[in-house]
Structure 1
Amino acid sequence: MAISGIHNILIIGPTNSDKNVDLSTALYDTADILHKLGYKTTIIVENPTALLSSGDFFDRVVVEKVNGENVLNYVNQFRPDAILPTVGDRNALGIVSGLNGKISTTKVLGTSYFAALATFKRELFISKLNQNKLPVINFISSDDEDELYDFIRSIGFPIIARRRFSNRHSSGWTNINNLFELDNFMALEDDKTTKIEIERSIRGFSEYSMTVVRDRFDNAALIGTIEDIEPIGIHHLDSNLVSPALSLNDSKLQKLRNYSIKLARVFDIVGVCTAHFALNHKTGECYLTEFIPRMSEETKFLEYATCYPLATVAVELNLGYQLDKLQLDSGNSFNGAEEPFMDHITSRFPQWNSKEQRYIGPSKTSDSSIIVNGFSIEEVFNKGPLNDKLNDNLTRYEQLHKLDDDQLFEKIIHPTSWMLDVLLEAIRRDFELPVLSEVTGINMPYLVVLKRIMENSAIIRDDAVDEENIERLVEMGVKGVGYSKVLLDRDEIVTKSVVKSKKSISVASENFENRNYFVTSGISNDIEMTDRKKIVVRSPIITSKKNIMVRQFVLLQLVKSINQNGLEAVIVGREPWSTPLEIRDIAYEIADPHMELRHLNLIPNESVFKIIDFSETLSAEDVENNEVFQISSKKIKSLDVKGETTMRIIVVSDGDNFTIPSIIFRKSINDKSYEISSFNNFLTQPEKNEILEIVKQELSDNNQINVFNFELVKSNGHWLVTLISEGMNGDIIRHELASSVHVIDTLVKMILGNKFKIGMDIDEIFYNDDDEYLVTINDKKFETFDFKETQTLLNEEIKDY
């Protein structure tokens, strides 16, 4: 039963969508379920493009800097019944911790003041864990040398130490292994106000994280486990992650599970909580290193890996629902207390934009990540970090092959983003696995896996594929052999690449249809599809955080539009899409990192109405196929002309006629820039005529259905075209949010055969009846203005636009 007295909820959103794109679908799911359950919602967010929605679920969107002052001002003015910070980022917890005693009767859902504060104040975290006999790394911060030495004697070596200066800055952590190194560190000259911080070193320990859910009645469940293949000392997001944690035996798993649930109980977490652990397999030492009482990148990864709807479950628990009596869509019941049991392995591996080696350590350096699935760790490695199509591993191998043993060992000691390739080369040279495990801190099972992969590569390189090893190679995810004559001459399904449903015990129920698949090997194909006509959407591979946001938004709107128009969407990608819950039962999603699906003929051709390619990987066959429709961004024209006044225009064409539903105006004045969306309504009639003639002229030879993006610069009182591209670029989210015309849905209708009215007048072509305008100042500060406020801004600040 939900907590009574809650009707209006303020959701604290993330601060920067480019850094927190994993929270976007969690935010979307949260708003969706609150809307279906009948709650009024307001979100405070800095960048509204993080919402993935034009505000369907929000009764009010406050576009302000997400800080304590603005949250408090909203609470004092509108008096919401509750605040929900758990789908914001770490900043949201900081805001909550600072609101204690200031918000009267407004409840904080999910995370208490003390729990929020403990995520920032390490001494509070340690004190609370010590009181409750949970294993934690004690530390000291002192300027008293005797006190420091007494503390070191109590914990022993190795330790790490740093200086904390009076201006709140600190030196980097120094590893200290013995008394001699400690004396040298202490002998360095100090300012009298400097304190020294010391704690037990856990460098080289294995790192695990456990995510649990808990309700207000103290029912709890472990939803998933994650293991970092690289040891502690390398940033969590620069490590290759595997779920479930494969190197934990049952006794260790149960110990960490119990610690996680006890931690959630100690801080009275209602909702979701992730606990990080450091574990030394040799000594048995185990420490809690961090807890995250909110949605995070890890929870979104686990939501995909387990199919467990974590965001929806967490918000219902926040509202007071019992764990085994939840509702997925305000109608279907869901038992959230059943712990998922995965029949597959899911891995997330980091990606760097540069192909060069990058040294990795405590600070995050990766730019993005890719998720893959498999039934063996060999398959996961071959699909992911060792996939030459994604990572250019062949070039890495050639460079590493030229190093002598000493140079190679140097790269083993100082890990880089090529760590697994380095280890493969070391194994090829017969470096001993126990030595490699000791030096790198990587558990032996993963080194054994790398050895098997290396042996398989040798078989392929020597052209030794035969009846005896073909099945083993295919089952381990080695591609390129799957279409060999040896394989094709055999009838057994075990040798063929197929599509396998991703299953976990607790959610494989009649009330929760799972349409999430991945291309794998060696398992009978179990994809089942309805007879409805389908549109296949090929999803792009992601190279940056901003690209993820565009993909999430475009795929969400495409699936909704395809479904509303009576067809069924099949999303095929080289990496999975973190799908919002409401989309999961109306679309199939197939992860296909080697792009094999088109050759498997598992989707009947007669059931495919159209293929929409958003992947930038059109083959010659696709170009000749009229059924393939490309919407990825493709440059048509470019001129290097700069100007202080520019416009970005989106044009939707049916091949004969077009509309211009959204215009983004930009003006730079001295060191300040302004961007105004939905600028259609501020154009004069002569300006509309001029823009219309420009678009007609540029598209005169183009008779295809698509979205076109124009960039214009004002030069000598006239508009000049500087860039034209077709397809979906980074502006699509803003155009959708800013326009009363849904661009993506309009495009889908054109693909299905609809046409614009012939002979539209100029006002119909530029039609946009938005009454709120998104204004961005200096590319950072987002605000929403009404027509009068925007007109005042144009007249008084921007002037002579």
Structure 2
Amino acid sequence: MPKDQSISSVLIIGSGPIIIGQACEFDYSGSQASRSLREEGIEVTLINSNPATIMTDPVTADHIYLLPLTPESIEKILQEREIDAVLPTMGGQTALNLAIEVGKLGIWEKYDIRLIGVDLNAIEITENREEFRKLMGEIDMPVATSIIANSFLEGKDAAQKIGFPLVIRPSYTLGGTGGGFVMEEKDFDDALRHGLNSSPTHEVLVEEAVLGWKEFELELLRDRNNNVVIICTVENMDPMGIHTGDSITVAPAMTLSDTTFQRMRNMAIKMMRSLGNFSGGCNVQFAIDPDTENIIAVEINPRVSRSSALASKATGYPIAKIAAKLAIGYTLDELKNQITGNTSAFFEPTLDYVIVKMPRWNFNKFYGSSHELGLQMKSVGEVMAIGRSFIEALQKACQAQENNRMGLGGDKKEWIRTDDILERLEKPSDDRVYRIKDALRLGVPISTVHRLTGIDKWFLREIEKLVKLEQRLTHYNVAEDIDEDFMLELKQHGYSDAQISWLMRLDEDEVTRHRKNIGVRRTYKTVDTCAAEFEAETPYFYSTFEQENESKRSDKKKIIVLGSGPNRIGQGIEFDYCCVHGILAIKNAGYEAIMVNCNPETVSTDFDIADKLYFEPVFWEHLEEIIELEQPEGVIVQLGGQTALKLAEKLHEKGIPTIGTDFLSLDLAEDRGRFSDMLKDLDIPYPDYGVANTVDEAIEIANRVGYPVLVRPSYVLGGQRMRIVINDQELERHVLSIFKHLPDNRVLIDHFLRRAHEAEIDAICDGEDVHIMGVMEHIEPAGIHSGDSSAVLPPYSLSQKNIDTMVAYTKKLAVALKTVGLINIQFAIQDEKVYVIEANPRASRTTPFIAKAYGIPYIQLATEVMMGIKKVKDFNVENKLDGYAIKIPVFSFDKFPNVDKSLGPEMKSTGEKIYFIDDLSDPYFRELDKRRSMYLSM
């Protein structure tokens, strides 16, 4: 059936700011859907309030509306644009809820707008727990025993009928918000109240708990002819009881019998076909009794989901892209698989590798929060790893985590007290997989680990293989003793050279040198959706240790862009935006653009963004062998945040050029002592400071510069472990904590400027001239992390003298640092005196905000400067704004109800939104300004 010719203009609803439970996977889906529709000649209008996304960039859609996600904004767009249809399935729960609200207000009907990809009835059925339960009954689909409750008394009555343990699931919430297990009656009342209050409809499902059952997810696509394909089957390594967003997941399923898989497959197709008028993507979750293999349906989501992005990257099958085409009338058999280029989209992917998704948490940002995991999602991001075996992929996932791990153990972070380990196993937490390895290493039987965790013994036996390999490795004293066969076995089990060197108490370079000398090197395999049955057209690779290398080096000059790794607080989607624009600039300049990243949620890891994609950990050993294979002109580290920046030193040591600002300048900006010396030489004011290597030195410096002082470790991200302290006792406690958690670090101590205004500038420098991208004034005062502060562009209360001074300091400092590319400088203004707080010669979280506010492709311009093909004086842009743009941080404190919500030097926000005002009389701005006055008077 051909495309619906009556649809020539589509509105896509985005997902808003990043929060826990709804992250950049919807930027990926929305961007892919937009590109897919534009391929068909359809005019795409997009609404979203998140300035950090590719979705809200002119390269993605024809018309971008950076507006709040409200019915009023939707009606404004419908009044200004000739819209035929709306696609609400690409923006997560936020977009679906908005579509429902707009529908109830009659706005879709008023403007004769069709919903495509889903209908409101399907949304209502799947989000309303009672309607879902009824539908499952009608199609004879087994579900857990459950009762709907709209009041406290109804909930109490339901619990009495079902019995404990049970689950509370609020309706219409995201990421499991408000839900949880209740093991005993004494805990039920509080949990019920929380669930009812979390639901926008004051409704919960009280459900029988199936703790310990296995959990599986299927990603499906359905067209208007009722054709269905299963794109991917994902097995949760953790059993039921942990939100899928917090669970380690594996594809394809490892412990599922073929008979049970076929039953589950048939059930998923039946569920999807029961949803009425629905064409597009769908995620279905099941629980399976490990003893009887009985299956029950848990939920169905008639939209792209967090798992859709994972499944797309895992299989190479572009789910959102195909779903968008199905929404406008195509059928699966009419579409091509864009990876192979010559097979049908009505062809189910086959994997000849294993995918492991591992969540990334930020509990260190939420002081007082429990590390225990449950139905309510707590992770802030995730990584995906590809290997030829589960254990290889699992080790690569650990290396990609950006938490100083070198793999699954074997990296000096092991626990040694059996009682502590067993307690950790029984209560699922963010580090449970590491504790499983510790338990097996200490001789705890697999049966005991299985009983405590509920994790299938197959996974435990796989992890046990690492313990046995390490026991064999202890018999070797020097690297040269390891023969080729054993080295190959270690590497095929995912061991990094750093792990091997730690286990042998050797220098890592010794292991690497010996490994390469005996010919054990990475080879690269193609992600092709069809287990190499058909040749793939898209260059999308992962590494392993085999004979044939499928990644062939071209003759073109090439540049590698390092991605930003998993999302976490302090480093989010804004750096993916920067990487994508960097890639576009590289391609436009005629170079081959190569992307290295491991985040499945991002646009940068889409198969058709870069000329070549390596889905690999942004980890030195992996990067080095890609560089050895590709022989690039250089590597760009400025766009990937701290993940990429921390590899600059290794690149410098190995003589590999960085494109743009060199390592020595990057290091100078990070080294507070040397940086302050530079400021002194340039006659630029800065707070008095000192650098301490011991507690005694810290106390001496603090007393010299005067309390209060700002205390922080060097070389960290997002203000990690940064505090304001007011006396020697507080200082001693905090400095000891820094040395405990970051033992190789030094402590920076600055005099803290009280009641100072804070501002920042983003700029581009070519080594000689400087272009000021934007000057932003913070609402919150100095002392609150810039990522947690609302920022106004351009400044609204700073004197012109202060602005001119900031601009002058920026130009002087950027040139002195020999910056080639982007730089962000932060200032404090106290008593009309401007101080420089810090300088970051790289992309910052404010870079996309400025680019979106002014509508200027600043990252592409900066990348051209880095490559030496453009000078600042060649820029033909004017950063002018009618009115003001405000960057507003968004927090996810609702996931951690008992934590300290106060703001300070350490960043806590998970995302941001943009808000435009015409003038300073805007009521929203006036409220912000009142808050600022309150802060400055404290």
**Could you tell me which residue of structure 1 aligns to residue 557 of structure 2?**
533
Answer yes or no: is the 8 Å Cα contact 1:162–1:172 preserved in 2: yes
Question: Partners of 1:397 and 1:699 in 2: how far apart?
Answer: 40
Instruction: Calculate the aligned-residue CA RMSD, in Å.
Output: 4.3
2:770 to 643, 647, 658: 658
**Could you tell me which residue of structure 2 aligns to residue 134 of structure 1?**
141
Answer yes or no: is the 8 Å Cα contact 2:372–2:428 preserved in 1: yes
Answer yes or no: is the 8 Å Cα contact 1:352–1:366 preserved in 2: yes
1:54 to 57, 61, 83: 57
Change over 3 Å in CA distance of 1:522–1:354 after alignment to 2: farther
2:239 is the counterpart of 1:231? yes
Find the residue that maps to 1:32 and give its secondary structure. helix
Change over 3 Å in CA distance of 1:687–1:337 after alignment to 2: same
**Could you tell me which residue of structure 2 aligns to residue 14 of structure 1?**
15
2:584 to 543, 549, 560: 560
Change over 3 Å in CA distance of 1:419–1:667 after alignment to 2: closer
Answer yes or no: is the 8 Å Cα contact 1:85–1:93 preserved in 2: yes
2:474 is the counterpart of 1:461? yes
Kindly report which structure 2 residues correspond to 1:659-738, keeping only aligned pairs within 5 A, or say none.
659-667=771-779, 675-677=791-793, 690-699=805-814, 701-717=816-832, 719-738=834-853
| Cα distance, 1:348 vs structure 2 | 1.0
Answer yes or no: is the 8 Å Cα contact 1:661–1:741 preserved in 2: no
Question: Partners of 1:425 and 1:668 in 2: how far apart?
Answer: 45
Find the residue that maps to 2:871 and give its secondary structure. coil
Find the residue that maps to 1:629 and give its secondary structure. coil
Letter in 1 for 2:114: K
**Could you tell me which residue of structure 1 aligns to residue 259 of structure 2?**
251
Answer yes or no: is the 8 Å Cα contact 2:217–2:284 preserved in 1: yes
Letter in 2 for 1:23: F
Find the residue that maps to 1:410 and give its secondary structure. helix
Question: Partners of 1:673 and 1:538 in 2: how far apart?
Answer: 28
Change over 3 Å in CA distance of 1:444–1:402 after alignment to 2: closer
- Worse overlay, 496-505 or 210-219: 496-505
Change over 3 Å in CA distance of 1:56–1:21 after alignment to 2: same
Question: Partners of 2:145 and 2:846 in 1: how far apart?
Answer: 49
Question: Partners of 1:189 and 1:253 in 2: how far apart?
Answer: 35
1:249-308 Cα distance to aligned partner (Å, 9 max, x none): 221211111111111110133100000000013112211101111122111111111111
Answer yes or no: is the 8 Å Cα contact 2:57–2:852 preserved in 1: yes
2:89 is the counterpart of 1:86? yes
2:516 is the counterpart of 1:524? no
**Could you tell me which residue of structure 2 aligns to residue 380 of structure 1?**
393
**Could you tell me which residue of structure 1 aligns to residue 528 of structure 2?**
503
- Worse overlay, 438-447 or 392-401: 392-401
- Structure 1 unaligned runs (5+)? none
**Could you tell me which residue of structure 1 aligns to residue 5 of structure 2?**
4
State, as a whole percentage, how many aligned pairs show the same letter.
19
Letter in 1 for 2:587: N
TM, length-normalised to structure 1: 0.84
Question: Partners of 2:229 and 2:543 in 1: how far apart?
Answer: 30
1:774 to 869, 885, 888: 885
**Could you tell me which residue of structure 2 aligns to residue 473 of structure 1?**
490
**Could you tell me which residue of structure 1 aligns to residue 430 of structure 2?**
417
Answer yes or no: is the 8 Å Cα contact 1:126–1:138 preserved in 2: no
Question: Partners of 2:815 and 2:619 in 1: how far apart?
Answer: 39
Question: Partners of 2:155 and 2:228 in 1: how far apart?
Answer: 45
Letter in 1 for 2:655: N
| Cα distance, 1:704 vs structure 2 | 4.0
**Could you tell me which residue of structure 1 aligns to residue 459 of structure 2?**
446
| Cα distance, 1:340 vs structure 2 | 0.4
Kindly report which structure 2 residues correspond to 1:38-77, keeping only aligned pairs within 5 A, or say none.
38-68=41-71, 70-71=73-74, 74-75=77-78
2:415 is the counterpart of 1:400? yes
- Structure 2 unaligned runs (5+)? 171-176, 197-201, 502-510, 677-685, 688-751, 891-911, 934-938
Answer yes or no: is the 8 Å Cα contact 2:660–2:866 preserved in 1: no
| Cα distance, 1:679 vs structure 2 | 6.5
Question: Partners of 1:376 and 1:336 in 2: how far apart?
Answer: 27
Find the residue that maps to 1:448 and give its secondary structure. helix
Answer yes or no: is the 8 Å Cα contact 1:215–1:321 preserved in 2: yes
Question: Partners of 2:169 and 2:610 in 1: how far apart?
Answer: 54
Change over 3 Å in CA distance of 1:752–1:91 after alignment to 2: closer
**Could you tell me which residue of structure 1 aligns to residue 869 of structure 2?**
754
1:648 to 750, 760, 763: 760
Change over 3 Å in CA distance of 1:78–1:656 after alignment to 2: closer
Answer yes or no: is the 8 Å Cα contact 1:344–1:375 preserved in 2: yes
Change over 3 Å in CA distance of 1:17–1:599 after alignment to 2: closer
Letter in 1 for 2:476: D
1:372-417 Cα distance to aligned partner (Å, 9 max, x none): 111111212222248894278659976631334xx44333322222
**Could you tell me which residue of structure 2 aligns to residue 350 of structure 1?**
359
Find the residue that maps to 1:86 and give its secondary structure. coil
Answer yes or no: is the 8 Å Cα contact 1:428–1:454 preserved in 2: yes
Letter in 2 for 1:737: K
Change over 3 Å in CA distance of 1:524–1:389 after alignment to 2: farther
2:382 is the counterpart of 1:369? yes
- Worse overlay, 564-573 or 222-231: 564-573
Find the residue that maps to 1:722 and give its secondary structure. strand
Change over 3 Å in CA distance of 1:272–1:73 after alignment to 2: same
Letter in 1 for 2:262: Q
Change over 3 Å in CA distance of 1:623–1:727 after alignment to 2: farther
Answer yes or no: is the 8 Å Cα contact 2:214–2:288 preserved in 1: yes
Letter in 2 for 1:547: Q
**Could you tell me which residue of structure 2 aligns to residue 264 of structure 1?**
272
**Could you tell me which residue of structure 2 aligns to residue 579 of structure 1?**
604
| Cα distance, 1:792 vs structure 2 | 7.0
1:313 to 322, 325, 334: 322
Question: Partners of 1:196 and 1:578 in 2: how far apart?
Answer: 35
Answer yes or no: is the 8 Å Cα contact 1:303–1:309 preserved in 2: yes
Question: Partners of 1:776 and 1:478 in 2: how far apart?
Answer: 43
Question: Partners of 1:400 and 1:189 in 2: how far apart?
Answer: 37
Answer yes or no: is the 8 Å Cα contact 1:348–1:371 preserved in 2: yes
| Cα distance, 1:10 vs structure 2 | 1.9
Change over 3 Å in CA distance of 1:476–1:591 after alignment to 2: same
2:649 is the counterpart of 1:619? yes
| Cα distance, 1:463 vs structure 2 | 2.1
Question: Partners of 1:408 and 1:71 in 2: how far apart?
Answer: 52
Answer yes or no: is the 8 Å Cα contact 1:229–1:240 preserved in 2: yes
Question: Partners of 1:209 and 1:648 in 2: how far apart?
Answer: 45
Find the residue that maps to 1:619 and give its secondary structure. helix
| Cα distance, 1:791 vs structure 2 | 7.7
Change over 3 Å in CA distance of 1:430–1:597 after alignment to 2: closer
Change over 3 Å in CA distance of 1:422–1:88 after alignment to 2: same
Change over 3 Å in CA distance of 1:277–1:35 after alignment to 2: same
- Worse overlay, 415-424 or 388-397: 388-397
Change over 3 Å in CA distance of 1:646–1:349 after alignment to 2: same
Change over 3 Å in CA distance of 1:746–1:136 after alignment to 2: same
Answer yes or no: is the 8 Å Cα contact 1:658–1:765 preserved in 2: no
Change over 3 Å in CA distance of 1:285–1:64 after alignment to 2: same
Answer yes or no: is the 8 Å Cα contact 2:143–2:296 preserved in 1: yes
Answer yes or no: is the 8 Å Cα contact 1:515–1:584 preserved in 2: no
2:413 is the counterpart of 1:281? no
| Cα distance, 1:467 vs structure 2 | 5.9
Find the residue that maps to 2:423 and give its secondary structure. helix
Change over 3 Å in CA distance of 1:546–1:311 after alignment to 2: farther
**Could you tell me which residue of structure 2 aligns to residue 125 of structure 1?**
132
- How many equivalent residue pairs? 769
| Cα distance, 1:437 vs structure 2 | 2.2
Change over 3 Å in CA distance of 1:506–1:310 after alignment to 2: farther
Change over 3 Å in CA distance of 1:683–1:561 after alignment to 2: farther
